[in-house]
Amino acid sequence: MELSLIIPCYNEEKNIFPFYEACKEALKSETEYIFINDGSKDQTFLEIKKLILENPKSNIKCLNFSRNFGKEAAMLAGMQKSKGKYVAIIDADLQQNPKYVQKMLDFLKDHGEYDSVACYQEKRIESKLKIFFKKRFYKFINKLSEVEFPENASDFRLLKRSVVNSILELKEYYRFSKGIFSWVGYDTYYMPYKVEERKYGTTSWSMKKLFKYALDGIISYSLLPLKIATVLGFISFIISIIYLIIIIIEKLTVGIAISGYPTIVCLILFFGGLQMILMGILGEYLGRTYMETKRRPKYIIKNDVDINTLKR
């Protein structure tokens, strides 16, 4: 098998057939299609089964999750299932044109020194607010973290088998693929591509989901927030010592009139708030540690189908 295509699908019923047609036209190599139906609420799974039955000669497989586990889990399942020498990850919504897969493949074959190719958007076609927050996020996480997060690089990639095997060795529950791709290293070539409009359906990324994703990324790849507590505690300790010395000198020289009530209230509120925030940060890490220790599976497969199982 030369190429495995991993296609995470969540509510993509109308895109399945057009997507396959576009792939068939664009790809020249022997290809294995792995659709992952990530708990879609529409007819996606039925459509994929229909696609398999209508194209018995093509190598199409589908993993049907027992519920929605997220794109990260879907990509992982696909990689575990894949057999190809090269593995590509591509969205089902046709925003990522399959012809770039062929382009990436040709590039990797011509340039043996590279191990993977990642597509990046030269220009984002999203709301200004999303672009703004994403920019901030990349600035922030690149400051905090040791691995590098290239801005605008997407999950739309082609990987050599060796890279896939390395990725599969990372067993963490909270998977942040952008970090994982960087963490495993290897030489990645960044190829510009043009994102197309979604064919059917809507994006499943709300602002809230994006924030949660960003937080996962920061916490998974940096321990710096934990150090904030140490630094702030140290600073306030030194300030309090200085203040103590001032008070003692004041008492010994001029004496103290009773006052400073507002100051005390402000200080109590300030340090109370600060402690809460820092405890919250601790809690975020602790919670994730707790989840990791449970060692739950990252996804559950309800059906694993291909042409052979469907015909039976």
Helix residue spans in the chain (DSSP H): 16-26, 44-54, 71-81, 99-110, 128-144, 161-168, 177-183, 207-221, 224-253, 261-294, 307-311
Least CB distance to Mg ion at residue 94 (A):
8
Nearer to Mg ion, 72 or 93 (CB): 93
Tell me the C-alpha distance between 109 and 186, whole Å: 16
Nearer to ligand UDP, 10 or 221 (CB): 10
Work out which of 93, 100, 105, 158 binds Mg ion, going by CB under 5 A.
Answer: 93
- Number of other residues whose CB lies within 10 A of the CB of residue 285: 13
**Binding track, positions 63-92, relative to Mg ion; x by CB under 5 A:** ----------------------------x-
CA–CA distance, 49 with 43 (Å, rounded to integer): 10
Cα Rg for the chain, rounded, in angstroms?
26
Q: C-beta of 196: minimal distance to Mg ion in Å?
A: 9
95 binds Mg ion (CB under 5 A): yes
* Distant-in-sequence, close-in-space partners of 76: CB < 8 Å, separation ≥ 6: 168, 175, 298, 299
Per partner kind, with CB cut-offs from 5 to 8 A, the member of ligand UDP, Mg ion, none near residue 32 is none
In a 3-state reduction of DSSP, which class is residue 61?
A: strand
Which residues here bind ligand UDP, judged by CB under 6 A?
8-10, 12, 38, 68, 70-71, 74, 91-93, 95, 203-205
Residue 9 interacts with, from ligand UDP, Mg ion, none (CB under 5-8 Å by kind)? ligand UDP
* C-beta closer to ligand UDP: residue 10 or 45: 10
- First-last CA distance in the chain: 24
Instruction: In whole angstroms, give the CA distance from residue 43 to residue 249.
Output: 78
Nearest distance, CB of residue 91 and Mg ion, angstroms? 5
Shortest Å, Cβ 28 to ligand UDP: 23
- Number of residues located near Mg ion, criterion CB under 5 A: 3
Burial class (CB in 10 A: 0-12, 13-18, 19+), 274: middle
Q: In angstroms, give the least distance from the CB of 262 to ligand UDP.
A: 50
Which one of ligand UDP, Mg ion, none is in contact with 179 (Cβ closer than 5 to 8 A by kind)?
none
Q: Which residues bind Mg ion (CB under 5 A)?
A: 91, 93, 95
